Structure 1
Amino acid sequence: MSGAPEPILPPRAITPERRLEALQHVNRGRGSFAFLWDWVKIFTVSVAVFFALRTFIVEAFKIPSGSMEGTLLVGDFLLVNKVVFGAEVPLVGRRLPAFRHPARGDVIVFEWPKDHTKNFVKRLVGLPGDTLAMRDGVLIRNGVALAEPYVRHLDPQSDPVWEEFRWQSDFLVKVAGAAMAYHPSRNNWGPLVVPLSQYFVLGDNRDNSLDSRYWGFVPDSLLRGRPEVVYFSFAPDSSNEFAWLSHVRWARLGDRVR
């Protein structure tokens, strides 16, 4: 009969095959440009996150010299905490707020005052206002001789005198005629007063370290961070270009820097 209602058909079941077919149809509709744009966005975000982490949070450094041997070895790769002392904001010459100030005994990474393209790793031994001296290789801070268990003396018998030490005369404790009679050497110098907003650093390999004794104080503005952990280490071998594979120091991986 013409007035009879049409029968209601049951909905078609959505099978896994039909779901896959629908998804393929949608993806074909987006085209290759949309697919490429997704990858561009992923890549851009990944690069931005990488540079943000490297600039403000953590950065990798390699130890190129033996000035910190006993604590750090040539071939150690370090993760450096840049947040702790306040990371520098690029292009604006300002730093983020620090979590804490540098402390005596900290191992720190900083730009070398003589060449800002080079990063050094040393131990901070003098804060602003500290009076420092060395007598026969023993560091004296504010009148107290320090026991430094991390220090190595591989050449204790020699005590060379270098022209580079002469800068120290301008920072001697004020005593009449002190500068005139001052003849500093590697193991005997001071007493010096550390200026405001600057630090005095020494290498743990005390007889083989180019440090503040030679070129002066480290301004606060040149601090890069504090190394936290050795994430990779290998014994360099000039005769083996694959030493980073065959000479891995497995026992050092994960060591905390203290």
Structure 2
Amino acid sequence: MHQKILVVETNIANFAGTNHLTGLWLGESAEFVTVMEHAGFTIDYVSPNGGYVPLDPRSMKDSYVNDETLKTYLTNDYQSRGLAATLSPQQVNPADYAAIYFTGGHGVMFDFFNNQPLQKLALSIYEQNGYLCSVCHGIAGLLNVKLANGNYLITGKKITGFTTSEELLSGNSKRVPFLNEKVATSHGADFQKGMPFKSFVVQDGHLITGQNPASPKEVAEKLVANLKNKKD
């Protein structure tokens, strides 16, 4: 039984063509990691280019960072492997992982959606009976994954992610290259929605997806429960 989890983060610091800052939404990585590490799992970090991961400055506000998240964020391990020197997809062997988790932040909208190396990693982990997880905008990493038969992996599956109404409320709907909910639906997914900005998580088989920045803890807890059951 593999006890390693692969966390995927963005390399993008700005909305394309603008000076408007984005990046990784800290809590969507650190909150998830905190739960997984407390449960005894080992974390590796990957990004489309490897190396440095910028943080969305808005995600650093006190209202978004709880004590546990801050504690994880301040560790040398998280600062180095999680933010300064992430792996590139080519350095990752999918056979080592029980699950892959796509973090959010608006940056991912620009470097997850069409990233074939990441899609290959996700598919390999899924095909070896691993779990595909995402939160918020991170669903962009799963929208284009195709099965061996050419069908989208999400077709006919219940999933969730940052909704169109949340995108409008966030004030960034004009800055993003596409809307996750719209693409998910056009690729045949059964897109589920909870209340805006409240934790909401959906599981369909080996897919576990969270709607927004309030959801990473619940995604992690659901994944832990599944992996512990599998092990027992």
If the TM-score is normalised by the length of the shorter chain, which range does it land in? Answer: under 0.3
Give the alignment's TM-score, normalised by structure 1. 0.26
Greater radius of gyration (CA): 1
Structure with greater strand percent:
1
TM (norm. structure 2) is 0.28
The structure richer in helix per residue is 2
